[in-house]
């Protein structure tokens, strides 16, 4: 099947709109349709760059239902752009399913690279990243969380997690308990935003220092899993 349109997976800023690339802006201006995880956030982004384009919602709850119709539009010659809330689609966000489905239909997705909270944290953490592991969000249940953390310890590589601010204190306690008090940790909070900060130290040190802290914002946690 010949492809006349194009499917784009486009990275967007995770906080600072100045991180948008020239290429990303051009692609959005040329798009026929933008499929966004959060249309309200997408509209804010588009308005900032004075871009007018049709929007539709595309998120984890409807991606299986809407993927076929989006790919049909591509096959009919349209340029369809997929955006996640922020950062790079498919990295702990919708994107994988439509990429796999597109490939199965003979459509080669075009990736427009840019900001990712993961790569930001990998640089900022100050821990070894010649090899590293990304674990997304840990399981919620205690037993599964413990097994997951202990299994990641076996890799011996720096591991990155996404974590809710409501679970940060709990996570620091778990890291100290399951991996050892001296395990080195870096918390990257609100990357690229006004209150951006990177907090580094041992798991026990950070747990004791911040056990009463009410965390806010988006977090990426890096843990040095080496022995």
Buried b / exposed e along 39-61 (16+ C-beta atoms within 10 A): beebeebbeeeebebebbebbee
Beta-carbon contacts of 139 under 8 Å, excluding residues fewer than 6 positions away, are 145, 148
Q: Which fold has domain 6-112?
A: Cobalt-precorrin-4 Transmethylase; domain 1 (3.40.1010)
Q: How do 6-10 and 79-83 pair as beta strands?
A: parallel
* 6-112 matches 117-223 in fold: no
178 within 8 A of 159, measured Cβ to Cβ: no
Q: Which two tokens stand for residue 132?
A: 């590293």
- Residue-wise pLDDT tens digits, 56-93: 999 999 999 999 999 999 999 999 999 999 999 999 88
- pLDDT of 2: 46
Residue for token pair 């990429």: 99
Domain spans of the chain, in order of start: 6-112, 117-223
Element spanning 209, H or E: helix 203-210
- Residue-wise pLDDT tens digits, 12-29: 999 999 999 999 999 999
- Residue 59, φ and ψ in degrees, nearest 5: -140, -175
User: What is the C-alpha separation between 20 and 25, in angstroms, rounded?
Assistant: 7
With vertex at residue 158, the alpha carbon angle to CA 147 and CA 98, rounded to the nearest 5 degrees, is 80
pTM for this predicted structure: 0.89
Element spanning 178, H or E: helix 168-179
User: What is the C-alpha separation between 162 and 137, in angstroms, rounded?
Assistant: 5
- Residue-wise pLDDT tens digits, 110-129: 999 999 999 999 999 999 99
Element spanning 153, H or E: helix 142-153
DSSP structural state of residue 147: H
- Residue 94, φ and ψ in degrees, nearest 5: -55, 150
- Residue-wise pLDDT tens digits, 185-207: 999 999 999 999 999 999 999 99
27 within 8 A of 45, measured Cβ to Cβ: no
Helix (H, G, I), strand (E, B) or coil at 106: coil
Class of domain 117-223: alpha beta
DSSP letters of 157-175? Answer: SEEEEEE-GGGHHHHHHHH
User: What is the C-alpha separation between 103 and 109, in angstroms, rounded?
Assistant: 7
Average pLDDT, the chain: 95
């Amino acid at each position: 099947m010949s492809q006349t349109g194009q499917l784009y997976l486009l990275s967007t800023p995770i906080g600072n709109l100045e991180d948008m690339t020239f290429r990303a802006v051009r692609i959005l201006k040329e798009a026929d349709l933008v499929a966004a995880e959060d249309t309200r956030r997408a509209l804010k982004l588009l308005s900032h760059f004075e871009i007018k384009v049709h929007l539709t919602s595309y998120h984890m709850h409807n991606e299986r239902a809407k993927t076929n119709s989006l790919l049909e539009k591509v096959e009919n010659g349209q340029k369809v752009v997929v955006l996640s809330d922020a950062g790079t689609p498919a990295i702990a966000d919708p994107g994988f399913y439509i990429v796999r489905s597109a490939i199965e239909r003979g459509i080669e997705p075009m990736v427009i690279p840019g900001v990712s909270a993961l790569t930001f944290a990998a640089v900022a953490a100050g821990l070894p990243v010649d090899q590293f592991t990304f674990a997304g969000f840990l399981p919620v249940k205690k037993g599964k969380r413990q097994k997951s953390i202990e299994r990641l310890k076996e890799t011996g590589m720096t591991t990155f997690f996404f974590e809710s601010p409501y679970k940060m204190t709990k996570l620091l306690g778990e890291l100290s308990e399951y991996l050892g008090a001296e395990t080195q940790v870096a918390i990257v909070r609100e990357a690229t935003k006004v209150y951006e900060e990177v907090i580094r130290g041992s798991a026990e040190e950070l747990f004791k220092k911040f056990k009463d802290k009410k965390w806010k914002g988006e977090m990426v946690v890096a843990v040095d899993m080496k022995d």
